[in-house]
Amino acid sequence: MTEITAVDTPPPAPDAKKEEGVPILTVEVKDQDTALKLMVNFLEIANRRGAFSIAEVGKIHECIKMFTPEPEPAPMPQVD
């Protein structure tokens, strides 16, 4: 699966880590998974631009978590 990252942002500061990925507007919407990832990326772009209040960001994050698989917990080391 292709990693989609939002690159529709102003140039980063000189010491900031460069984002790499496919320009979001060039990604082909070929299935529901890609469409959902694109919508999440557009929400992240809008949030960085200050489009949402704190309460709205909280609700958006709650919604995004519903589609994000939870990481499996790391196994506990056994003590002998």
73 located within any domain: no
Rounded to two decimals, the pTM is: 0.59
Q: How far is CA 19 from CA 6, 24, 26, in A?
A: 8, 12, 16
58 located within any domain: yes
Q: What is the pLDDT of residues 27-53, one digit of tens each?
A: 999 999 999 999 999 999 999 999 999
Number of domains in the chain: 1
Work out the number of other CB atoms within 10 angstroms of the CB of residue 7: 16
55 located within any domain: yes
1 located within any domain: no
Q: What's the pLDDT band for 5 if we cut at 50, 70, 90?
A: low
In the chain, % of residues over pLDDT 90: 48
